[in-house]
Amino acid sequence: MRALLLLLLLTLSVSAQQTQRRIVRLESRIYGWYAIADPSFDKTIGRRELYKVSGQDKFLKGLAGRLVLIEGVFSEGSLHLPALAAPPISLPEDAVRRVFLSSLSSAGPPYKSESDFTLQDPDSLLALYRPGRWKLDLIVEGSSPELQVVRVVSAEEVETRPSTLVGQGSLDAPAQLDVTLTQDFLDLVTALGLKQADVSATYQGLTLRLTDLYIKLPQQVSSESAAWSLQGSVGLSFGRGSSLAETSFVVDAEPLIEDNVLKLKPDWQNIRVEGQLPFSFALGTKQLGSYARYLPEKITLLDLVYVTAQLRNQRLLSQEGNPVWFLGRPSPQTVRIALGDPTQELPAHETLQPGAFRLILGQQLVDRLIKKEIDRMLSPEKPYLPEPPIEVGKALFIPILVKKIYIRDLQAGYRQSVFRFDNLTIDVGWEAGPLSGTEPLLTTSGYVRPKLSGEQGKRFWDWDLVLENLIVRSDKIPGNKNQLATEFKPQIEQTLGRKLAAEKRFSNRIPLSRFLGQTDAVLEITRLRALDATLTLEGRVNPNP
């Protein structure tokens, strides 16, 4: 009777725990069934996880080696399958679990996620949800950015809040560069540092070694230095010989920036062992702390000095001055680093969706960035050739055509959310029948408003050009100067504005190798917002463009 009561209590305890639906690969081993979760097919996790299966495993027959969507209680290295759980569902080999934010509409598929994925829904799985903004946990297949919905793990309607871009903090003296990274981006930029870290220690003839290191950002944050979670595998061996035991571990680690280097400072004395294997049989918890205290005090993640040097090489930072990198208060599940004055409080910002990043460029950096691009496009020595040529009048019924445009002088700067310029001086190469020559044409002021244009996968930098105070300077072009100025204005705005942007088509994709060395990943800019003293770019990381 006592045994029956204990069994009943155990059953009630397990059933009381919350079940989850997750994508795993099943394996049948000599000791029973195991479920493996891996970031290669589950983008909601960051490390490989192994679970020993218990409970109602009669439905697993024939699924060894297969990807499945399974329901059960996942806890401390074990997966319990309750009696009332749904049988596992076999999935295609290329299936991947991802989380999307998307506005579903009554118009039906394809749906567009806020991170620019296109979701096809051939089985109308998303038609069950009313129109609105949803957080979708999906099993999908296909190649980015075109994905096909296979299964819905969960869906949660989320409130659409107005933008809260500017909060506390001053934009009068913004950071030169303010970067907010989500988990995916952090994985990418710290992967090399974690792989190169020698995290091992020898104590009393035994070697403790930490491998497969992975960082997990906290769900909530209260300060800039809120502890991250450093996770991975921990192994015990004689020297570098045979392994005595191996399992997973987790330890709280404080992020910090020292001498412009992003580092982690783990609390080794409170390292915790997780997983299914009996690690405690080989090494007790107290003894583990004795070994761990010989591990390196800090782990280097990212050398931001190199990033600063690259920005200077690109002429985006001044050679004078010595800005420093520092941590800013992030939103949940993000990390925020900034280049500038660490005493300057950073403004608050709205939460980023998974897989996204945000770059806030200060006024000085935006100035240099836009000037550099204009220098590339509009050289005083190399004219821009409009196609077709611009007709600016007639001489004895012969059209006067502008075939070359020279930018002679441009005094400009970023302010009030646009790139303003004064004393823009334009000369032209003209042709009228057999005659031709080079003439001073006009001087003007105005502004350029940056934006993004183009379709999915083919987006490019675009801009609107607005001219003010246009003065015609040529004495040889016939006609009323004021009337000519009125005629020239829309033609030049179109030719040097959207038409030039469409012709140049500067891509919205930035290779990360410019700043992080050997990597094929690119940053895809998907959103641009211009404020008085900053330019905000949002986008996502594409690791395999």
Both 264 and 287 in one domain: the answer is yes
Of 58, 90, 122, the position where a domain reaches its end is 90
Among residues 515, 536, 526, 510, the alpha carbon closest in space to that of 189 is found at 515
Contacts 24+ apart (CB under 8 A), 88-92: 88/26, 88/59, 88/60, 88/63, 89/151, 90/63, 90/66, 91/23, 91/66, 91/67, 91/139, 91/150, 91/151, 92/67, 92/141, 92/150
Q: Is residue 10 part of a domain?
A: no
Write phi, then psi, for 291 (nearest 5 degrees).
-70, -45
Residues 512 and 478 in one domain: no
Residue ranges making up the domain that contains 403: 385-502
Whether residue 431 sits in one domain with residue 453:
yes
Last residue of a domain, one of 157, 172, 207: 157
Residues 397 and 488 in one domain: yes
Looking at the structure, tell me whether residues 203 and 242 fall in a common domain. Answer: yes
List the CATH number of the domain containing 150.
Answer: 2.40.50.500
pTM over 0.85: no
Backbone angles phi, psi at 194, to 5 degrees: -70, -35
Residue 380 is given by DSSP the state S
| Domain-embedded: residue 528 | yes
Task: Establish if 171 belongs to a structural domain.
Answer: no
Residue 376 lies in a domain: no
My answer on whether 421 and 483 are in the same domain is yes
The pLDDT profile of the chain, 545 residues, written as one tens digit per residue, is 333 233 223 333 333 457 888 999 998 887 788 888 887 898 777 667 888 888 877 788 888 889 999 988 888 778 888 877 778 889 999 999 988 878 887 777 888 877 678 899 888 888 888 888 888 889 999 887 789 999 998 888 775 443 333 344 445 567 788 888 888 878 877 887 888 888 888 777 778 888 888 888 887 776 677 889 898 888 777 766 666 666 778 889 999 998 888 999 999 888 877 654 445 445 555 666 677 778 889 998 888 887 888 787 777 877 666 788 998 888 778 888 888 888 777 877 777 777 788 888 887 788 777 777 666 666 666 787 888 887 766 766 778 788 888 876 666 677 777 778 777 787 888 888 887 878 777 788 888 888 888 776 677 878 888 888 888 877 766 667 787 778 778 887 888 788 878 887 877 777 776 666 666 777 788 888 877 778 888 888 776 66
**Residue 451 lies inside a defined structural domain of this protein:** yes
Establish if 6 belongs to a structural domain: no
Are 405 and 346 contained in the same domain?
Answer: no
Query: Quick check: is 461 in a domain?
Result: yes
Domain count, the chain: 5
In a domain, 295, yes or no: yes
